[in-house]
Amino acid sequence: MSSSQILKGILEGCLLSVISKGEIYGYEMIEKLSTYGFTMVSEGSIYPLLIRMRKEGLVTTRSKKLPSGGPKRKYYSLTEQGKEELDSFKQKWRVISDSVNQLMEDD
């Protein structure tokens, strides 16, 4: 597994978490992620992931017209399956991060 693939898996988990807080669109997700210091991926890299997550049935989308006019904005929300995926990611992440942290502290 290359480092970018690991990062993709983590990014997917984080996106699930961000979307679980309520309906949200792409740019807002990036803003949320960056407030947590999540800046190691380019902003555009969330879109191929979002396409895949929708294909896998983890998220659904809804287009809303903006009050200011212009193009419609696409909002994402989690499906039941997405919520389950988020729970399983949280568990896996806890195990990984705990063991990595312990290992690093021993150095």
Partner 1 sequence: MAALLKERREFLQNLRIYLLSSGKKEEETEEIVGELEDHLYEAEKHGKSVQDIIGQSPKAYMEQLAGEMPFDYKNLLIYVPLILIGLICYNILNKAVEGVFSYSLLEAVGDIVITLIGLGLIIVLFKYVASSKLSKISEGLLFYGGSLTPIILLVALTYLDRAVDSPMIHLGLVWRILAVALACLFLIGIAIWAKTWVSIIIPFLSLSPELVLNQTGMQETSKTVLSTVITFLGLGIYIFIVFKRERKKETKIL
Tell me 43's DSSP state.
G
Nearer to partner 1, 14 or 30 (CB): 30
Burial of 19 (0-12, 13-18, 19+ CB in 10 A): buried
* Nearest of 77, 76, 8 to residue 48 by alpha carbon: 8
Report the interface residues with partner 1, using CB under 8 A: 25-27, 30, 41-45, 47-48, 51-52, 55, 70-74
Nearer to partner 1, 9 or 26 (CB): 26
Q: How far is the CB of 106 from partner 1 (least distance, A)?
A: 35
Q: How far is the CB of 92 from partner 1 (least distance, A)?
A: 23
Q: How far is the CB of 86 from partner 1 (least distance, A)?
A: 20
3-class DSSP assignment, residue 62: strand
